[in-house]
Amino acid sequence: TAAGALYDTGNYEGALEKALQLADYPRLRAEQAQKRAAGELMGIGVSSYIEICGLAQKGFLPVGLYESARVRIEQSGTVMVYTGASPHGQGEETSFAQIVAEEFGIPVENVLVIHGDTDSTPEGRGTYGSRTLALGGSAVFNAVQRLKEKMKQIAAHMLEASVSDVTLEDGKFSVAGTPQKAVAFAQVAATANLSNTLPPGIEPGLETTAFFEPEGCLFPFGTHVCVVEIDKETGEPKLTRFVAVDDCGRQINPLLVQGQLHGGIAQGVGQALWEQVVYDENGQLLTSTFMDYAMPIAEEFPPFELDHTVTLTPLNPLGVKGVGEAGTIGSTPAVAAAVADALGVAHVDMPFTAEKLWKIIHQQ
């Protein structure tokens, strides 16, 4: 870009078209025309965004912004994942375990993720900037690949086969073309940790630490469509529809993605419609507790209509981008555009309180 950023991948028009189709944009405009003819205020807002996330590229700061993971496979076959990243509600304990389980072909219940304990976890650079899965998850993935290759060597020794002929599928190491000749994941784990007859050059144990530092930032994107109706008598705005199509690359766990978007959209809408810090004429803070501060609550929202496109990034082995902040980025301008559209004005300062909108309506 002219500002110097290098976008990784994007299909921006595809997300826009999908959002407009999901919202049935022509029908919304027809409905708006009918309501305006009846003297009602309805507005439609569309917001397309591109977000920069995964801050960690080499040379960005004097220190490395990598993430790390240490993976150890116990003799029982249980996989221990120690991550330098720090999930605190986003759900990476689940997505990290899914990455490991999928790569090894074992039940996700056999993977234990440890984080936040600096006495046991490797060095990390923090959870911020929608980077935890893209960096921390990639470190986990790379560590798993190293252990997978070591396990293939041990399995080849056990099966008396060439390493190049050994494959791992459904939790079993087998010889290509002879699937009945196989050893289970847990058997190889036990051999690695207990046997004294490992092949030459192979150390006992299954443990490795990997660090991941990408070559550039990631750029998730999407389009949000919002419909707002405003009561002429009171100025009260009401959110009646919210459609969002977001692209965060590959989705390891779609349910977690939806959860992040639900929370982000609620925060973004809250900023636009209700939330503000208010002082009286003496400088006394009037919104000092949640009894006074107007936070959004569930009943003020319609069901969110969510969909996605998938545009992989080449900057990490998982093809993932961040999603933790996406909902907050697309939602606020979509609501702002809808309110301005309903009132027939170019701009209104946030938050769009009933008092503010009532004054605009009656000034007109």
Give the DSSP letter string of 135-202: IIIHHHHHHHHHHHHHHHHHHHHHHTS-GGGEEEETTEEEETTEEEEEEEHHHHHHHHHH-S-PPTTP
Q: Quick one: pLDDT band at residue 314, thresholds 50, 70, 90?
A: very high
Task: Quickly count helices (H) and strands (E) in the chain.
Answer: 8, 11
**Which H or E element spans position 258?**
helix 254-273
Q: Terminal CA-to-CA distance of the chain, rounded, Å?
A: 41
96, 132 Cβ separation under 8 angstroms: no
* DSSP state, residue 133: I
**Level-2 CATH architecture, domain 67-212:** 2-Layer Sandwich (3.30)
Mean pLDDT score of the chain: 94
223, 16 Cβ separation under 8 angstroms: yes
User: Is the pLDDT confidence value at 140 over 90?
Assistant: yes
Rounded CA-CA distance 214/203 in Å is 30
* Residues in contact with 2: Cβ distance below 8 Å, sequence separation at least 6, in sequence order: none
Q: Quick one: pLDDT band at residue 118, thresholds 50, 70, 90?
A: confident
User: What is the torsional sign of CA 45, 46, 50, 53?
Assistant: positive
Q: Quick one: pLDDT band at residue 302, thresholds 50, 70, 90?
A: very high
Arithmetic mean of pLDDT, 116-120 = 85
**CA distance readout (Å), 136 to 97, 101, 145:** 12, 16, 15
pLDDT in tens, 13-69: 999 999 999 999 999 999 999 999 999 999 999 999 999 998 767 777 777 788 999
Rounded CA-CA distance 41/324 in Å is 33
* Residues in contact with 102: Cβ distance below 8 Å, sequence separation at least 6, in sequence order: none
Please give the share of the chain, as a percent, with pLDDT higher than 70.
99
Global confidence as pTM: 0.92
| CATH number, domain 12-53+218-363, options 1.10.8.640, 3.30.365.10, 3.90.1170.10, 3.40.47.10 | 3.30.365.10
Here the tokens at position 82 are 């120690």
pLDDT in tens, 240-280: 999 999 999 999 999 999 999 999 999 999 999 999 999 99
Residues of the chain with CATH 3.30.365.10: 12-53+218-363, 67-212
Please give the share of the chain, as a percent, with pLDDT higher than 90.
83
Rounded CA-CA distance 364/361 in Å is 5
Residue 52 has a CB neighbour count (10 Å cut-off) of 14
342, 224 Cβ separation under 8 angstroms: no
**CA distance readout (Å), 98 to 93, 185, 298:** 9, 16, 30
Amino acid at 328: T
* DSSP state, residue 30: H
In this prediction, residue 323 carries a pLDDT of 95
Q: Kindly write down the DSSP assignment for every residue of 194-230, as one continuous string.
A: H-S-PPTTPPSS-EEEEEE--SS-B--EEEEEEEEEE
